Amino acid sequence: MRRRLAAFAVLAALAGGPALAVQPSERLPDPAQEARARALSTELRCMVCQNQSIDDSDAQLAKDLRVLVRERISAGDSDAEVLDYLVDRYGEFVLLKPRFKSETLVLWLTAPAILILGGGVAFLAYRRRAARAAATPEPGLSAEETRALDRILAGDAPAER
Amino acid sequence: MTAEIGHFALVLALALALVQSVVPIIGARRRDAALMAVAPAAALAQCALIGLSFAALTQAYVVSDFSIVNVVENSHSLKPMLYKVTGVWGNHEGSMLLWVLILAIFGAAVAAFGRNLPASLKANVLAVQGWVTVAFLAFILATSNPFLRLDPAPYEGRDLNPVLQDIGLAIHPPLLYLGYVGFSISFAFAIAALIEGRIDAAWARWVRPWTLAAWCFLTAGIAMGSYWAYYELGWGGWWFWDPVENASFMPWLAGTALLHSAVVMEKRNALKIWTVLLAILTFSLSLLGTFLVRSGVLTSVHAFATDPARGVFILVILCLFIGGGLTLFALRASTLTQGGVFAPISREGALVLNNIILTAACASVLVGTLYPLVLEGLTGEKISVGEPFFNLTFGPLMVPLLMAVPFGPYLAWKRGDLLAATQRLWFAFAAAIVTVAVVAYATSGGPILAILGVGLAAWLIVGAVSELVSRARFREVGFMVGLRRLAGLPRSTYGTTVAHAGLGMTLLGIVAVTSFQSETITVMKPGDTAAIGRYQITFDGTDRSRGPNYDQLVVHMTARQDGVVVAKLDPSKRFYTVRQMPTTEASIVTHGFSQLYLTLGDETGDGGIVVRMWDKPLVTLIWLGALVMMLGGGLSLSDRRLRVGAPKPARASAAPVAAE
């Protein structure tokens, strides 16, 4: 779906078209470090692309960033330090998962809030209705209904379905 | 001349839509049968006019009429015929025309098949449909007219975006629009109910098939789009949490919730107010999706500046319908009576849980999609919200929902017995445990979350099927009688089972491909062999050739498994000469439910070429599962109960209660 219809506008503008990221020459020799680099890459945005991580994109900028991430990892940075390093240079925009802070409170808390709110409303509605139902007991069966029920229980009612 | 006919037909359709949106409502108010009868006639005529207009544009594309701007910008005389036709909606103007065409077809369907609807409800529903049609026809005529002429006409067009020159364009947008626009019917029913201030179980019975149909189309449309992106864009992904995808996913989530709450309303006459609200919200999200995709606001906030008229126009439509719908809801909802009482542990309770979680999930997608836009608009600060965010917010919501799915059908209406349901699900639970154990052993204790995910998928699939088996009561009544019982179950029961099992299949595919796929990127030259997953790939050679509107480089490769040739692959790179755009054509081989996926990168200059390879286990289940879900919806739709239409409310109480 991705580019889909927006592709009309988007893809034309996308440098290079379909992506083919992480060139063989970029990879780090140490598999553990390379794995860390790949994991970090999926959390970093290629800033000239449409919502694509640098792991996915083959734009030149994404390539530069991938190399940069690997340089920092080789230099001994921790994952958090690499992210800080990139945020210092490129701003929060580079993170595909925004940090939890005052400007992103609404972003992070909407779904849990809806969950709690929905549960609360459902619970209150249940309580109110149960109370109302208890206050007004359901009317018993009418004489006719009782006779019909007796007939059914006696077994001469039409079969189920 | 045809272009002018098409243009004129659109203007006439707008005039008719205006009549349709006013006269029937007055008729319904005054109980005037003649005025109400205007609605179906106007809806049918409007459908014919918009159809004529669409045919005129199609004709212009087929004969490559380069005196029309739209054709010049999106077509080329050398383009294959299929893409000339699909190119009609492969651009902004044409796709909006397709949108209103489908809207008109749905309106005509209500007019034609809604014979057993009460006259005033039908008049009101069609009038509300008319409002939507007016808004979008006015939008097309004012800002996105596909019939504008160009003088002097050029000799050749600028061709369609190469990525769109694919069979996917023939299938995906129409299906998606059938889904989006189909929800307009649920919306129209909801608004009509609010206008009339009356709603009953029969109402739900009329709304459900329309919602179900729209949901089926949307499911198929999203799945098709996902598969299209998967094979066409060439980086092996199938879902990216891209805003454009989210735009279609939000109505799907809300529509799924609506589908389930409409069941409660139909069967138990409860959740009325919520169902009406959900119907309004679902279509609002469809409109929002249309706005996000069509206004260009997502491409960049500055796309507004290039053509602000369009974005502002759709924004106004959006505000009118969402704001108007919700205002009407706020004013009139209290006139709808409250429904029946039910215990928290009951079928209704399970469906309420489904609705709460789906709503929260939909909200997480909504804020994730819109938050960056809003924040930038308010503070100028730019942030990105991508896959890692959704994995963290959407993912955890899905786990409890999926765990709860098999319980739902086992719980009785009104008051259920959780313990009994759990006991009857022992087999599914055992199957899930065994699956977890087997997968853990086979992957030698691989990623724990993935193994649990596979177990969850097994729980869903076996849980769904075991519900059917337990309804047959083989153990009590014997095999043959059990089979007869099975055959006698209503189709909607099968629909539930099939759709829930399809959900499990999709989950299985997602988990398998995210956790267990292998991927290799390497430079290869003729004669080289590389290993990927279970395969060895040999580079046999290359050749260059010329297609109808592109040049291409094809690489021939052979895939072997333990020395035995299992497939020939030929991924290629194309260069579309008119648009000066390169594309990568992946080569995909399907074995069982798994796929081997090869794409080409850049040439290295010394005769080598970068090759990216994936071995994707069970990947096709992602889309097959969606198709199975759609099949489940179709089965439910074919249920006799929905086909014969709703009984008249007066008769409903006397009629035997439908056996569950």
DSSP B337-348: PP-----SSSHH
- Residues of chain B in contact with residue A126, where contact means CB-CB under 8 angstroms, are 344
- List residues bridging with B529 in a β-sheet: B538
To the nearest 10°, the Cα dihedral for B95, B96, B97, B99?
90
CA torsion A124→A126→A129→A135, rounded to 10°? -90
Q: Which of the four pLDDT bands, split at 50, 70 and 90, describes residue B444?
A: confident
DSSP string, B641-652: HHHS-PPPHHHH
Is the Cβ pair A1, B225 closer than 8 Å?
A: yes
Give B544's strand partners. Answer: B553
Nearest to B386 among A24, A51, A122 (CB): A51
List the structure tokens of A4: 């889909």
* Residue extents of the structural domains in chain A: 7-99, 103-154
CB contact under 8 A, B360 and A114: yes
Which residues of B, range 393-452, sit inside 8 Å of A by Cβ? 393-394, 397
Which candidate in A2, A121, A161 is best for mutational testing of the B interface (most B CBs within 10 A)?
A: A2
Tell whether the torsion through CA atoms of B102, B107, B109 and B110 is positive or negative: positive
Set of chain B residues whose Cβ sits within 8 Å of the Cβ of A130: 341
Q: How far is A126 from chain B (nearest CA, A)?
A: 8
> pLDDT tens across B485-519, in order?
888 888 888 999 999 999 999 999 999 998 888 88
pLDDT class for B470, splitting at 50, 70, 90? confident
Q: What is the pLDDT of residues A56-71, one digit of tens each?
A: 777 788 888 888 999 9
Extract long-range pairs of B269-273: CB within 8 Å, 24+ residues apart: B269/B200, B269/B201, B269/B339, B269/B340, B270/B339, B270/B340, B270/B341, B270/B342, B270/B348, B271/B339, B271/B348, B271/B351, B271/B352, B271/B355, B272/B199, B272/B336, B272/B337, B272/B338, B272/B339, B273/B333, B273/B336, B273/B338
For residue B181, the distance in angstroms to the closest alpha carbon of chain A comes to 16
Which residues of A fall within a CB distance of 8 Å from B386? 43, 45, 51, 53, 96-97
- pLDDT tens digit sequence for A104-153: 888 999 999 999 999 998 888 888 877 877 776 666 677 788 888 888 88
Which residue is closest to B371 within chain A, CA to CA? A107
More confidently predicted of B550 and B640: B550
- Contact of B486 with chain A, judged by CB distance below 8 Å, is answered with no
Where do the domains of chain B lie? 1-154, 199-407, 425-516, 518-616
| Nearest-neighbour CA in chain B from A106: distance (Å) | 8
Q: CB-based contact (8 Å) between A120 and chain B?
A: no
Residue type, B156: E
Chain B residues inside the 8 Å CB shell of A158: 656
Predicted TM-score of the model (pTM): 0.88
CA closest to A1 among chain B residues: B225
CA distance A22 to A9: 26
Task: Report the residue from A3, A5, A43 with minimal CB separation from B95.
Answer: A5
Residue B197 and residue B335: Cα distance in Å, rounded?
Answer: 6
Kindly report the nearest CA distance between residue B383 and chain A, in angstroms.
4
| Cβ contact A1–B581 (<8 Å) | no
Paired sense of beta strands B535-546 and B518-524, if any:
unpaired
- Would you state the structure tokens that stand for residue B420, as one six-digit string? 């009994």
Structure tokens at B84: 């000339």
- ipTM score here? 0.81
Give the A window 25-44 contacts with B, CB below 8 Å. 42-43
A133 touches chain B (CB under 8 A): yes
For the record, the structure tokens of B656 come out as 């035997």
The rounded Cα B600 to chain-centroid distance in angstroms is 31
Residues 33-52 of B with CB under 8 A from A: none
- Cβ–Cβ pairs < 8 A, chains A and B: 199
Say yes or no for a CB contact (<8 Å) between B599 and A56.
Answer: no
Whole-number pLDDT of residue A8: 34
Set of chain A residues whose Cβ sits within 8 Å of the Cβ of B338: 129
Which of A 9-28 lie inside 8 A of B, CB atoms?
Answer: 9-13, 16-24
Cα B67 to Cα B64: distance, rounded to the nearest angstrom: 9
For residues B110-118, give the mean pLDDT: 86
Q: How do residues B369-397 score in pLDDT, each as one tens digit?
A: 888 888 888 888 888 888 889 999 998 99
- The tokens describing B437, both together, are 């154990």
Q: What is the DSSP string of B580-603?
A: TEEEEE-EEEEETTEEEEEEEEEE
User: Phi and psi dihedrals of A12, rounded to 5?
Assistant: -60, -35
- Cα separation, B262 vs B276, in Å, equals 9
Q: Is the pLDDT of residue B453 over 50?
A: yes
DSSP E strands, chain A: none
Higher pLDDT, B571 or B158: B571
Judged by a CB distance cut-off of 8 A, whether residue B289 touches chain A is: no
Residue whose C-alpha is closest to residue B239's, from A4, A128, A85: A4
The pLDDT assigned to B130 comes to: 95
| Amino acid identity for residue B362 in this structure | C
Phi, psi at A22, each rounded to 5°: 40, 75
- Closest Cα of chain B to A124: distance in Å? 11
Three-state secondary-structure class, residue B567: strand
Query: Residue B500's pLDDT is what?
Result: 95
A110 in B contact zone (CB under 8 Å): yes
pLDDT for residue B649 is more than 70: no
A18: pLDDT strictly greater than 50: no
Q: A72 — contact with chain B (CB < 8 Å)? A: no
What is residue B96's three-state secondary structure? helix
The answer for residues whose C-beta is within 8 angstroms of residue B177's C-beta and 6 or more apart is B95, B98, B99, B102, B221
Q: Where are the alpha helices (DSSP H) in B144-271?
A: 167-196, 201-232, 243-268
Distance between CA atoms of residues A37 and B223, nearest Å: 31
- Tell me whether B305 touches chain A (CB under 8 Å): no
- The reported pLDDT for the residue numbered B178 is 94
Whether B659 has a pLDDT exceeding 70, the answer reads: no
Residue A39 has pLDDT above 90, yes or no: no
Looking at the complex, does the CB of residue A119 fall below 8 Å from at least one CB of chain B?
Answer: yes
Q: Which pLDDT value is given to residue B603? A: 83
| CB B410 within 8 Å of CB B421 | yes
Residue A18 preceded by cis peptide, ω within 30:
no
Domain made up of A7-99: CATH architecture: Orthogonal Bundle (1.10)
* Farthest CA pair distance, chain A: 89
**8 Å CB contact of A43 and B388:** yes
B225 in A contact zone (CB under 8 Å): yes
A1 with B298: Cβ contact below 8 A: no
Cross-chain Cβ contact A17/B582 below 8 Å: yes
pLDDT band at residue B232 under the 50/70/90 scheme: confident
Strand order across the beta sheet in which B609-616 lies: B518-524, B609-616, B594-603, B587-591
Extract the tokens encoding B553.
């480089």
**Which of A6, A8, A161 shows the shortest C-beta gap to B90?**
A8
* A52 in contact with chain B, both atoms CB, cutoff 8 A: yes
Query: Which residue of chain B comes nearest to A112, CA vs CA?
Result: B360
| pLDDT band of B520, cuts 50, 70, 90 | confident
Cα B469 versus chain centre, distance: 30
